[in-house]
Amino acid sequence: MNPSMEPAEKQRTKPPLSEAAKSSLGKTRNLFRIFIVTVLGAFFVYQLDVSYLWLTSILTVASLVIGIILLVRSAKLKESKLVLAGTISGLVVMLVMVLVILVTAVFFDQVRDFQACSRQALTDQALSGCRVQLESSLPGLR
Q: Which domain holds residue 59?
A: 23-106
Q: What span, in angstroms and rounded, lies between the C-alpha atoms of 18 and 50?
A: 48
pLDDT digits (tens, 9 = 90+) for 77-131: 777 778 888 889 989 999 999 999 998 888 888 888 888 888 888 888 888 888 8
Q: What does the pLDDT read at residue 49? A: 80
Q: pLDDT of 1-53, one tens digit each?
A: 555 555 555 566 665 656 666 677 778 888 989 999 999 999 999 888 888 88
Question: How many domains, the chain?
Answer: 2
Q: Are residues 85 and 128 in the same domain?
A: no
Whether residue 81 is found in the same domain as residue 37: yes
Q: Same structural domain for residues 94 and 116?
A: no
Do 69 and 128 lie in a common domain? no
Q: Please give the backbone phi and psi of residue 119, each rounded to the nearest 5 degrees, phi first.
A: -70, -35
> Are 34 and 68 part of one and the same domain?
yes
Please indicate, yes or no, whether residues 112 and 102 belong to a single structural domain of this protein: no
In a domain, 10, yes or no: no
60 and 126: one domain?
Answer: no
- Where residue 78 falls (left for φ over 0; alpha for ψ -120 to 50; beta otherwise) is left
Cα distance between residue 109 and residue 94, in whole Å: 23
35: amino acid identity, one letter = F
How remote is the C-alpha of 7 from its chain's centroid? 46
Instruction: Write the single-letter amino acid at 84.
Output: L
